[in-house]
Amino acid sequence: MGELDHGHDHGPPHGHADTRASRWRHRLPHLLTPHSHDSGDKVDSAMEATAEGIRTLWISLAILGGTALIQLAVVALSGSIALLGDTIHNFADALTAVPLGIAFVLGRRAASRRYTYGYGRAEDLAGIAIVLTIAASAALAAYEAVQRLVDPRDVTHLWAVAGAAVVGFLGNEWVARYRITTGRRIGSAALAADGLHARTDGFTSLAVLLGAGGAALGWQLADPIVGLLITVAILAVLRDAAREVYRRIMDSVDPVLVDAAEAGLRAVDGVLEVGQVRMRWIGHRLRAEADVVVDDTLTVGQAHDIAVDAEHALVHAVPRLTAATVHTDPAAHSGRAHHAARTGHVGDAA
């Protein structure tokens, strides 16, 4: 049980009813489920989210893998560089499921004395791998396009190229929606970034149609030029994906979540003031730390009860929050809050 007050017991509190009913109202849940505070439900939800993420990855891997194989056969038949670039990205997008899948499996492992926060950060490492994969595929597509500009060749079987382009678009768009929706629902920045990559590949598949149309009109350079345009589009999604992964690694959170947490804490009975609120993502799970000011005449037990209520408020106010640490500081000594935090006197309400 965390120490949620610093021992400032100055007698009966002013303005706070100290009745048996109010004491038991907070202590009975501890006797039945010590210190769960509904966090267990959130952890179960996080585990379900991990399973959903893994399922999304394998389904999308199958769809994109099949799409890429169809396109690869047409590339071998037609020699289209634009379609080759699209095929490369489909294979790359399918293969990004591997590091993400490994990360989700690692994230299921229980925390240890060495990895006290668990293995959720593996998801962020997978995000880096995805960004590097996107960059490598863009470089390969650009290289092939430049080579074809230097050494132009005719593209054959244009109707097959056009059909493969449509197949590529449909497969990528379906996977993109699936990954982005799941990633945002479970709070996985890496999975959402992977979905954005798939969406860009879908639009580049449509660009292949332009190359096929130009080739049908006798413009030999249409195919490699479209290949270069595809590279530019992939660089744009690379920028967006890199930004999202960077923000997650740097513990960036949406300010709206902080606003929701502060509003929830202010509504807690007994909280006089809300201090600093800190949040961070660990994989697709969110943790929070908060400082609150309480009446300096409260007993340790009463301050603890307020901290429990504050943790409840955080869990209910912030989506995907699985754990929270609440530090209570007496009003008359609120100026010592930062010193107390630095010396380790922080109460854990999770």
pTM above 0.75, yes or no: no
27/86 same-domain check: no
The residue among 198, 226, 249 that closes a domain is 249
Say if residue 211's pLDDT is above 80.
Answer: no
Q: Which residue spans within 25-176 are E strands per DSSP?
A: none
79/221 same-domain check: yes
Q: What is the distance between the alpha carbons of residues 96 and 61, in angstroms, rounded to a whole number? A: 9
67/137 same-domain check: yes
Which pLDDT score is estimated for 292? 93
Residue 320 maps to a domain: yes
Q: What is the distance between the alpha carbons of residues 145 and 222, in angstroms, rounded to a whole number? A: 11
Supply the range of the domain harboring residue 164.
41-249
98/128 same-domain check: yes
Q: What is the distance between the alpha carbons of residues 143 and 230, in angstroms, rounded to a whole number? A: 12
195/314 same-domain check: no
180/311 same-domain check: no
192/264 same-domain check: no
Query: Can you give the CATH number for the domain in which 181 is found?
Result: 1.20.1510.10
Which pLDDT score is estimated for 168? 86
Mean pLDDT is lowest, of 8-17, 109-118, 165-174, 326-335, for 8-17
110/223 same-domain check: yes
Per-residue model confidence as pLDDT tens digits over 271-330: 999 999 999 988 778 889 999 999 988 899 999 999 999 998 998 899 878 888 899 989
SS3 content of the chain, % helix, strand, coil (to 5): 65, 10, 25
Share of the chain above pLDDT 70, in %: 78
Distances (CA, A) of 15 to 20, 65, 182, 309: 16, 66, 47, 18
Contact 166, 100 (CB under 8 A): no
Q: What is the mean pLDDT of residues 213-220?
A: 74
Residue 205 maps to a domain: yes
CB neighbour class for 320 (10 Å; exposed up to 12, middle 13-18, buried from 19): middle
Say if residue 341's pLDDT is above 60.
Answer: no
Q: What is the mean pLDDT of residues 201-221?
A: 75
Average pLDDT, the chain: 75
